[in-house]
Structure 1
C-alpha cells in the first residue's frame, strides 16, 4: 500500500574531473618505466548495477624513488568496455585498454598512491595488467599475482572506556602476507604486521565498527573482513525508545533526491531520540534474489560536513559513503536505534513469487546483502514487504497460501536468533481478503513482529469517491467497505494466532484526497484526485497541516474540507488516540510511513513517542 517514484538515475556524478572518454580506436604509446622505481596497480569493482558497473584502479609507488608518470594497460573480454572515466585518460584499441595519468596526478613519491575510476558496460574483469610496461604486482615480467584473502572478522576483548583489543585470524596469499590495515568506521587507523591490535584514545560510551584488510608482499590489498561492533564502557547512554514498545519509521532511499531528506534530518528534527527502529526502504527482488536498488544513494553519495550526521565530510576514497555511512554515524550517536533493511514494497514485490520457489536460496541472497562486510554493522536484521502473498497488488501472485510462511521460516533459519526478522503485511480484513490469502498466523513464529499497514484503505484511485478516511481506526456508518479498518485487521490477525505483542499499528505521515468535493462530511462525491506535490491524490502531513487544516474527525482519523478539496490524514491528536488504543490492545507498538512527511521538528514522531509512553 505504499507508492514510490520512478527510480532515479544511478550513475555516479562527476564534478571537477576533466575526463569523460568514450572508446577510441587509437592506442596511446607507453611511458618509459621510471628507473629504480617499483609500483603496483590493483583493480576493484566498486559497484555493479546489473547492466553496468564501476571499476577503480589504484596505482602505488612501492619503490624508493619518485615516479613522474604512469600508464596502466589491461585487456577486457569481448563485450566489456569503458563508457566513461575520471582522473585518467582512458583509450582503447579493440579490447585492449590504456589509462594514462592527467597532468596533476602523474607524480608519485615513494609510498604514495593515486586512484582513477570508470563506468563500464558488460560483466568481464580485466586481465593481462601492465603498469609502465612491467608487471602490475611490481615484478619485472610476471603478470600480477593473486590478492590476499579476507582476514577473519576481528574479535574484541579488554574493552575499557578508552580502548579495545582486536584479534583476527590470518589471511592467506600465494606469495605471503606483508601486513594488515585496521579500519575503524571505514577508515584506516593502523597498519600492523601481526594479527592483534589495541586501539586507544577512544571515547567512553561510544559505538565503533572495526574490520581488517590484508596486504601481500606485492602491496596488493584483499577484501575487507567482516565488521565487529564495539561499544566502549562508561559514558552517558542516549534515552531508549518508549518503554517496552517499538516505535519504528521508514527511511526511503529515494528521499535524498527530490524530497531532499537525509539521515541528518532525523537528528535535526529530534526524531532520532524518539524512535527505536528504522526500516531502510527498499532493496529489490530480482530473479528470486535480494539485490540493492540505488547503489549511488545507498553507498556512494558524498556528504559535506554540514550535511553529515557527525559534521565530518566524506572523502573521495573512503570505502563507504551514502545513506549507509550516514546511518552508521547515526547509530554511533544514538546507539539505542536498530536498523533493518526492508525488501520489496509496492513497486518491487513482483519478484517474491519466484523467490518463494526456493526460499533457502532467497534467504541466502538476502543475508549476503544485509551482512555484506562493508556495512554489516549498519543493519540489525531484515524486513520483508511483500505486497501481497497469494494475492494482488501492483502485480498478482499465485504462489499459494503457504509461500509466505515458508519464506519467513527460511529467513529466520538463515538470519538466526540474533538478528531481527520482520514483515510489513496487509490490513485487508474483508472476508476472503488478503489476510485470508496467506498463512500469517503460521509465519508469526518466524518473525519478531508484523508492521500491519493500517492505512491506504481508501483513496482517489476511486476518483469519483465516496470520500473516506484512508486510515480509519474503527468502522463507522457509511464506510465504503466493511473490513477496511485498523481494528478489524488487528482482530482478524489475533484470531489467526498472531500474538498481540507481535503486531505494530501503522500510521501514515501523509493524507489522501479528492477534488471537486462539495460535501464537508465523509461520503461526498468527487471529480478526481486532489493535487499533490509528488503525486495526485497524496500529500505530506507537513504540507496539509497549513494548506488544508483538519476540521473534523471520523473513525479516529482527521479530515479536512477546504475549497473543493477533501483530505484525510492523522494529526498529533488522532495519533495520540490511536496509541492509547494500541496500548489497550496489548500491541507491540507502532510504525509509520515515512519520516519525510513529518514537520521539521518531528511533531508526528513526538506524538507516537508520547502516546506509547
Structure 2
C-alpha cells in the first residue's frame, strides 16, 4: 500500500476524513481527555491505524495498548475500505481485515483465535480494543490515495449515492462480511470516515474526476446523514461521520462547499503534513505550523495557511482537527549549505518502506548520524548530515503542535499514522501534553 500522499503540481493536496454523529458534534464526541482551559469541550485525539501495519512493520492492534497510545485516543480510524467501480463498499484486504488469526501473544485480550470463530483479523482485535477502552470511538476510513478511484461514481446520482451508503453501512456498521455469519462484525465501528482524494481534482493516476464532484460530495454527506439517522433510530446507537480534507487552498475551493460540509460532519481532519516532499527538487519543511520566512516556494504553505483558509470559508473551530505526522520526508544528494534547508537535491532519501518516507521510530534509532536543526518561530525541525535531509517531527515539535491547537481553540489533533511512534509512545505522549 502507498503512504498517505496528496500532491499537486506545486502543492500537495489533502486527504479526507469525516466523523459523523447523527445531529450535532456534541452527540458524537464524549471524550475523557483534558480540554483547553475554559474551552468546555474535551480534546479529540484521532489516530489512523492502517490495515497493512501488521505486515512488514509488525505493528499490531495490541501495540496500541503496549505503547500507551489507546488510552490517549478519543477516536481511531481504521484505514482503508475501498469502493468498487459501481461505488459499492468492499474490503481492500479481507485477510488483514477479518480472516487473519492471531495468537494469544498477539491479541489485545491475550486469547488466541480459533478456527471457525465468527470474526478474526484486525476487526476482531479492534472489537477487543473497544471492550478494553469502551469510550474509544472507532471508525472505518474509506478511500485513501489508492482507494479513491471510484468515489466520483458513488456520488454521481441520487441512486448511486443511496446504493453506496447502503452498502457501506451494511458491510462496516451492520457487519455483514462476505462468507461470514450475518452481523459477524456488528458493533466494531462507530461511524464512517471519508477520505476521497479528491473531489474535482486529480490525485492517483486513473482516478475518476468530474467537475460536479464538489456539489456531489455535499450530496453524498446528506445521504450518509439520512441513512445513519435511520440506522441510529433502529439501534439506539450514535454514529460518527467524519472526513479528511486537503490542506491546499486551491483544492479546497475546487472540491468542497466548506460551510455546508462542516454542517454535515461531526468533525473534519485537515492534512497538516506533506506540504513538501521529495517529489520536489528542493528540500523543505513538510509540516511547519507557520510558513518559514525564507521559504523560496510559492504560494506559501503551512498548517496556519490551511487552517485559516477553512475558518475564513465558514468552518467552525470546534470541528477543525489538525493532522500531524508520525513520519518524515527526506531527500539525498543535498547541497551542503544553510544546514541543508531549501537546497537542491538529487532525489528521495533511501528508506525502509518507501524512498523519501521514513517512520519516526526508525529515524530516531539513526539520530546519532544527524544534526537536529529547528526553526522555533515557524514551528518545524529537520535532520541533516551533510548530504541527506529529513523533516523531523520529534516530541519537541509534537508538543508545539499540540499547543498550537490548544491556543487556537481548535477541535483537536489527528495522527497519520500510529505505527510510526516508538515502543513507549513518545510522540503521542508529547502531543497530548501539548493539547492539555
TM-score in same-fold range (> 0.5): yes
Give the match for residue 523 of structure 1: 342
**Aligned pair in 2 of structure 1 residues 533, 545: CA closer, same or farther (>3 Å)?**
same
Give the match for residue 326 of structure 2: 509
Asked if 1 retains the 8 angstrom alpha-carbon contact of 2:371 and 2:385, the reply is no
Please state which structure has a larger fraction of its residues in helix. 2
Task: Note the C-alpha offset of 1:562.
Answer: 1.5
Please state which structure has a larger fraction of its residues in strand. 1
The SS at the match of 1:456 is coil
Give the match for residue 491 of structure 1: 308
| 1:404 to 2:217 alignment | yes
Aligned residue among 21, 33, 36 for 1:241: 33
* CA–CA separation in structure 2 for the residues paired with 1:433 and 1:595: 26
* CA–CA separation in structure 1 for the residues paired with 2:320 and 2:253: 14
* CA–CA separation in structure 1 for the residues paired with 2:227 and 2:254: 27
| 1:541 to 2:360 alignment | yes
| 1:255 to 2:53 alignment | yes
**Aligned pair in 2 of structure 1 residues 308, 550: CA closer, same or farther (>3 Å)?**
farther
The SS at the match of 2:47 is strand
* CA–CA separation in structure 2 for the residues paired with 1:475 and 1:609: 24
The SS at the match of 2:71 is helix
Give the match for residue 327 of structure 1: 126
Aligned residue among 541, 558, 563 for 2:381: 558
Give the match for residue 403 of structure 2: 580
**Aligned pair in 2 of structure 1 residues 499, 458: CA closer, same or farther (>3 Å)?**
same
Give the match for residue 34 of structure 1: none
| 1:278 to 2:97 alignment | no
Aligned residue among 280, 299, 310 for 2:98: 299
Give the match for residue 384 of structure 1: 194
Task: Note the C-alpha offset of 1:592.
Answer: 0.5
**Aligned pair in 2 of structure 1 residues 309, 346: CA closer, same or farther (>3 Å)?**
same
* CA–CA separation in structure 2 for the residues paired with 1:550 and 1:280: 35
Task: Note the C-alpha offset of 1:606.
Answer: 0.8
Asked if 2 retains the 8 angstrom alpha-carbon contact of 1:405 and 1:440, the reply is no
Give the match for residue 43 of structure 1: none
Give the match for residue 293 of structure 2: 477
Asked if 2 retains the 8 angstrom alpha-carbon contact of 1:483 and 1:489, the reply is no
| 1:611 to 2:428 alignment | no
The 5 Å alignment of 1:89-108 reads: none
Asked if 1 retains the 8 angstrom alpha-carbon contact of 2:274 and 2:286, the reply is yes
- Across the aligned residues of Structure 1 and Structure 2, the Cα RMSD in angstroms comes to 1.8
Aligned residue among 416, 419, 426 for 2:246: 426
Task: Note the C-alpha offset of 1:478.
Answer: 3.2
Give the match for residue 441 of structure 1: 259
* CA–CA separation in structure 1 for the residues paired with 2:47 and 2:165: 24
* CA–CA separation in structure 2 for the residues paired with 1:272 and 1:576: 18
Task: Note the C-alpha offset of 1:389.
Answer: 0.8
The 5 Å alignment of 1:136-215 reads: none
Task: Note the C-alpha offset of 1:526.
Answer: 0.5
Task: Note the C-alpha offset of 1:608.
Answer: 1.6
Task: Note the C-alpha offset of 1:407.
Answer: 1.2
Give the match for residue 415 of structure 1: 228
Deviations 1:421-442 (A, max 9, x none): 000010002xx44444321221
Asked if 2 retains the 8 angstrom alpha-carbon contact of 1:405 and 1:439, the reply is yes
Deviations 1:517-549 (A, max 9, x none): 123142111111100100100100011123245
| 1:594 to 2:414 alignment | no
Deviations 1:443-482 (A, max 9, x none): 11111111101110100012xx211011121112232232
* CA–CA separation in structure 2 for the residues paired with 1:415 and 1:461: 40
Asked if 1 retains the 8 angstrom alpha-carbon contact of 2:46 and 2:76, the reply is yes
TM-score by length of 2: 0.83
Whose RCO is larger (CA < 8 A, sep 6+)? Answer: 2
In structure 2, runs of 5+ residues without a counterpart are 6-30, 36-41, 176-182, 233-237
Task: Note the C-alpha offset of 1:360.
Answer: 1.8
Structure 1: which 4+ aligned runs deviate by more than 4 Å? Answer: none
* CA–CA separation in structure 1 for the residues paired with 2:72 and 2:330: 29
Asked if 2 retains the 8 angstrom alpha-carbon contact of 1:467 and 1:566, the reply is yes
TM-score by length of 1: 0.59
* CA–CA separation in structure 2 for the residues paired with 1:569 and 1:392: 29
Give the match for residue 451 of structure 1: 269
The SS at the match of 2:148 is helix
* CA–CA separation in structure 2 for the residues paired with 1:277 and 1:550: 35
In structure 1, runs of 5+ residues without a counterpart are 6-238
Deviations 1:471-511 (A, max 9, x none): 12111223223242110111111111110111111111000
Asked if 2 retains the 8 angstrom alpha-carbon contact of 1:240 and 1:273, the reply is no
